[in-house]
Structure 1
Amino acid sequence: KEVLIATMQDNQKYFPVTNEKKELMPLFICVSNIESNNLELIKKGNERVIRPRLSDAVFFWEWDLKYGLKNHRQSLKEVVYQKDLGTLYDKSERLVKTLSLIGEKINLDIDSAKTAAALCLCDLLTKMVSEFPKLQGTMGRYYAKAEGENNDIAIALEELYQPRFAGDKLPKTLPGQCLAISEKIDSLIGIFSIGKAPTGDKDPFALRRSAIGLLRIIIECEIDIDLKDLLSTAASTFSNKNQSLNCINDVYTFLMERLRHYYRDEGFSADVFESVFAINISRPLDFHHRLVAVAEFRKLSEAKSLAAANKRISNLLKKSEEIGSIKIKDDLLVEKSEIKLARRLEDYKKIIAPMIDNHNYKSALTELAGLRKVIDNFFDNVMVICDEPDLKKNRLALLSNLNSLFLETADISKLQD
């Protein structure tokens, strides 16, 4: 189907016709730029022109099937991917290694994944893809199935290129998702390592699109993987490890900026993003859960007061000298408001801990909203920066513990009115 459509659209600029079930029909629509009294003649002329094109497509298909997809793998050694990054074969070998290492961390059939990585670039050398480049991946799927590869491997060869553009569909299978992640992270590390990162409006290797695609797959397909670990894994597969390992921080920063743009387009406000970004979460899926929780939290009536209190706490801690021990000393709690806050703090630590462990950040923040009144009473009745050094340090330790409890989810002091 895809080959027939490509033949009609790319070679002849014809419109293929499908029925209500989206099945391709033996029809096409063409546009004529002349008026004719004999439309049948125009019809026959266009049919005559497309027949040899379709015959060519049949020839490509049959030749590729006869030659075999696997037989192209060694030929990848002769095709330069990028002069400083080696050949397509080198890239496919890196993908095999990266995918193997990823597979150890998640529930992935490593043998199938390695086979998919080894074959994923082979269809680039087929006659069909040489004629119709946009069918890369698609033809890999057909040829892999024709050679008897299992369905997961065949589908992964096509899903390697997804998403192809903004808003495009994402890979549906886990092997396809992991293969697409591996390819995109390999491109990012490779291009950054040779000093060709995007600058301004220049992005010749479409790394911004790759970055957004990578993040969308991880978040929307719910793959819980650490971005820094992923970058280190990919960087370790390059022959020049010094260059590849040295660019990890730059690629990570680039990806987090793309993540900022992704969430802006999804309708999240900048301050909500900053509240999670501030606590250095490197697992995009975990980042997403926290972001959604903060967006829901700010709708609560307590949010404004708690955000202001956290700003005040943060400023006090920044301006104060070393607190020393962050352990709260009960014998130095003298005011009723600080005694109550300390007790409630210990209670909430026990309540919040299992929620954080289960990534239930929305419930955690909803629970923490219950501290609003006791925190307000503390600031209304207790002088934190007092003249007695021990009391002052103990109160700062109390606030440091409170601040850490909120930071288990996000830095809500970043929220704006």
Structure 2
Amino acid sequence: MIPDIEKASLQDIKVFQEEKLASLLAYLSENSAYYQRVFSENNIDVSTIKTLEDLSLIPFTTKDDLQKNNDDFLCVPKHKIRDYVTTSGTLGDPVIFGLTDKDLDRLAYNEAISFACAGVKEGDVVQLMTTIDRRFMAGLAYFLGVRKLGATIIRVGAGVPELQWDSILKFNPTYLIVVPSFLLKLIEYAESHGIDVNKSGVKGAICIGESLRNQDFTLNTLAEKITAKWDINLYSTYASTEMNTAFTECEHNQGGHQHPELIITEILDENNQPVPKDEVGELTITTLGVEGMPLLRFKTGDMVKAHTEACPCGRTTLRLGPVVGRKKQMIKYKGTTLYPPAMDNILNDFAEVESYVIEISHNSIGTDEICLKIATTNNSKDFLNAIKDHFRAKLRVTPNIELHPKETIEKLRFPKMSRKPILVIDRRG
């Protein structure tokens, strides 16, 4: 199930996207109070925007713009909204998105072709291990996509290993949709209850919320821990509420494929210029085919690298590598630039670390400080020194480390109303 446009030449994809862009600009000029203001204040005649390169003539949209002008982004009367979702609010106040019937159909299409990318097909059974409520777009998208694909879904929700295994043994799912670290909890439960994970019939896990791969696409420590005990294929996905679109790995595991019929991507440097090939930059997106709240040149804040060589799967589309980190969560620590995912990989090297959060703050002279709050089964001084030595070897710096009961860390990781674990607490303001 590969759409023809995803196998087209790069030139044909560009022409296709430019036609879609023209339609989007006309739609925003007609229906968006926010973008009408932007075009007017910047003397932009949208009919002169002809190419993808011409996008550089249009100002960016930021999370701050969305938070301050939320209602002005809506392009339809409120009676046309069929579903409300909100962003997670990890880096600020949640933003409300209204989805129309057309948007829900688009969401279903996006997930159907994304799941197909990971090998899910008609007749497969998919177990959903994330929430579908709490105004969470992803859970709803997964349900709609599996349905559109002609597969079967089991809506178990997050957590509760006992219920997850009861469902796996009852319904024999072939794929799981799951936060990857939860797979370790499923393995632990199975081992303590005499369940052979490799006889479960599960052949793949579509993973959200945490990285599976290093920048060269090798499995990271977390993924290695999972596959050492459970012989399943792991597929990374990357998405956000603002994008209304997912980037999902195919069987070759070389990055998440772009769907050019749904999204235009730019990867920009500190000066808002396209980064050179193989360089990391900030992902900036323009949504295509969204009716309720389309976005134009939205800066996601995520630092990524694009891969443009053709994939053996037959798709010619751009692929995104693992997210290096959030731009706002970049840390300058003792002369070294860090992103939290690099610390995740190191902490996952230690089986004794049961749970953790990374807390970032400013010290008295205004420079960044890092405190790792850890729950561990080994409180010895030698173990703490081993963690520090590992950080020093891998990242050349050693953060402060505090030991806490697991219950304390879990409360920090799962605050009230949270839909996914919080691994980074940024107190820099």
Q: Normalising to structure 1: TM-score of the pair?
A: 0.23
Q: Normalising to structure 2: TM-score of the pair?
A: 0.22
The higher radius of gyration belongs to 1
| Structure having greater relative contact order (Cα 8 Å, sep ≥ 6) | 2
Greater share of residues in helix: 1
